[in-house]
Chain A
């Protein structure tokens, strides 16, 4: 029973971070209609930024949120402005060009990181990296708890932004019906740029929060990109509430898979879950609740 509860706690805490990754992906998905396969690689860039500031200046990983998020916002804006938006005007046979473009961007980001930092594993060791609080025989990792709290507050902040502000409403409008939004006088191209930046900033936050408890190397992006799209499919494409559900579900599935089946299977669980969802509930969580 204790093992079960411990796994449950670990899964939910991890799920909070996954939700943050998934929300960024699903926002981009909703507004642009494409899956951003450079998502994990963007997170990798944020993690390197965090690492550099920690290593050379000694800045706390959580404080670097203030640096990594704006820088990734700019990276997202740059990618959307100069690479993805011009692609809309290119005539081609295959409509999946944009997805492929994100794959190319991901490769470039990974390789640039490899050039600068080599393939070595890096990590950030803080005083709270391995600390834990014990409640009733179950240990709560301090770093994961902080990350979870940050993730929750960022998510709440995002929701307030999407529901209350003009810009947030415009984003939701474009994601519901791009053409109608344009008729209403919303500059869809600008909204896309902002959304890409926002998605990148969110995943940057996840990266900075994850770094104290994880390790870092250039290829780390790939697995997280896959996690992000599994979360998005689980939650239903373009649904922000669904992404939270999807993130927690994936976190739990991975934790239970690792505990009861074997550590080797951790990555595979998500993929199997992904195929199962495609077969049985193709719309994801969104279809079940209509949120």
Chain B
């Protein structure tokens, strides 16, 4: 019963969140968290459960985002149609890609996805007649309030977590894990590995593409540098998955929360705390510190990658038991 009650309680809290917290800034952060829950879940399905590490989540994200934007700018159709279509187009990209690249194993598949990411970024940059190149595409936001976006993002995030939960507890999920653990053994047991890897990739791509389309509608502006970014999307997706917990249902949710918080702490200089501190103390040093901290967010990501891989390889959720033990032990020692 605990399995149902805890997430349900969490969901209710999330539904009530924008009604209680009316500050647009925190609502914006929560929308980002929910967006990353969806992307992280998508990443987790193909990488965590199926073991085919996706280094190029931004390829699907960007394709979804551009689908929505192009619908508006070229066909004059509402960018909201991009939401269903973005997922579909991402799947259409994933399909031939998987067909070609699923013969590659381990790190080589990861590299191929990285190449896919780069190719799409170049295409979006070069093909100016279609995508406006580096100028980017502007999409007018439909709602002024953040609340509608919040609920759409919540639906997407909850949907993707439920999808992961359902898929991984079905027969399909066991096939995925068997492919991750030993592909040859899985093949010899009669599992069509390419077929199931394809299903996994298409589901992932669909979720990530949907998130991309929602991003366009919410942010109102996209350019190749943002939506096909290796650091800000692809690596972030991996971090969300790994920090939270690889191949756990709620890992990406946890990871999304932690990562968006970390990103924001650096970007805003500790939620503006450093600026206040600088004003209060009147030290000129604080201004420099603030400047450096806001510049250091990619550096912090890099250090986090190294730290997490070395000490927390299965994430906060995956290593929860050892983490709790360490923390308790530590407490006892200090007491």
Contacts and interface: CB of A to CB of B under 8 A. Distances in A.
Same assembly: yes
Interface of A: 34-35, 83, 86-87, 90-97, 99-101, 103-108, 110-112, 114-115, 222, 226, 229-230, 233, 237, 264-265, 267-268, 271-272, 274-275, 278-279, 282
A250 to B, nearest CB: 13
A217 B242 CA distance: 30
Contacts of A34: 107
B100 A104 contact: no
Nearest to B122: A268
B33 interface: no
Contacts of B306: 83, 101, 104-105, 108
Given A90-B309, A264-B126, A279-B100, A99 B107 contact: yes
A107 B301 contact: yes
20 contacts: A35-B108, A90-B309, A92-B309, A94-B53, A100-B309, A101-B306, A101-B310, A104-B305, A108-B303, A226-B118, A233-B108, A237-B108, A265-B126, A268-B122, A271-B118, A274-B115, A275-B100, A275-B112, A278-B101, A278-B104
Contacts of A101: 305-306, 309-310
Q: Which of B48, B126, B299 lies at the interface centre, i.e. has the most chain A CB atoms within 10 A of its CB?
A: B299
A35 B318 contact: no
A146 B245 CA distance: 51
A223 B198 CA distance: 29
Contacts of A103: 55, 235, 305
Nearest to B180: A93
Contacts of A104: 301-306, 309
Contact of A86 (B235, B296, B310): B310
A73 B33 CA distance: 41
Contacts of B201: none
Given A93-B247, A99-B110, A267-B122, A108 B302 contact: yes
B313 interface: yes
B216 interface: no
A271 B122 contact: yes
Interface string B103-126: 110111011101100110011011
A260 to B, nearest CB: 16
A107 B299 contact: yes
A93 B48 contact: yes
A185 to B, nearest CB: 29
A92 B48 CA distance: 11
B224 interface: no
Contacts of B122: 267-268, 271
A282 B104 contact: yes
Interface string B91-105: 000000000110110
Contacts of B40: none
Given A94-B53, A265-B126, A268-B119, A111 B305 contact: no
A245 B318 CA distance: 44
B231 interface: yes
Interface of B: 47-48, 51, 53, 55, 100-101, 103-104, 106-108, 110-112, 114-115, 118-119, 122-123, 125-126, 180, 230-231, 235, 238, 242, 246-247, 292, 295-296, 298-299, 301-306, 309-310, 313-314, 318
Given A92-B314, A105-B302, A111-B299, A278 B100 contact: yes
A97 B104 contact: no
B298 A96 contact: no
Contacts of A282: 103-104
A86 B305 CA distance: 15
Contacts of B108: 35, 233, 237, 278
A94 B295 CA distance: 31
A75 B314 CA distance: 28
Given A107-B231, A233-B111, 17 more contacts: A83-B306, A86-B310, A87-B309, A90-B309, A93-B313, A100-B305, A103-B55, A104-B309, A105-B306, A110-B302, A111-B302, A115-B299, A226-B114, A230-B115, A233-B108, A275-B100, A282-B104
Given A105-B302, A222-B230, A271-B118, A94 B107 contact: no
A233 to B, nearest CB: 7
Contacts of A274: 115
Nearest to B300: A111
B313 to A, nearest CB: 3
B309 A97 contact: yes
Q: Which of A93, A95, A96 lies at the interface centre, i.e. has the most chain B CB atoms within 10 A of its CB?
A: A93
Given A92-B314, A108-B299, A233-B111, A272 B104 contact: no
A274 B114 CA distance: 11
A282 B313 CA distance: 31
Nearest to B318: A93
Contacts of B112: 275, 278
A56 to B, nearest CB: 24
Nearest to A275: B115
B310 A93 contact: no
A278 B119 CA distance: 15
A93 B246 contact: yes
A111 B310 contact: no
Contacts of A87: 309-310
A39 to B, nearest CB: 12
Q: Which of B48, B231, B309 lies at the interface centre, i.e. has the most chain A CB atoms within 10 A of its CB?
A: B309
Contacts of A90: 309-310, 313
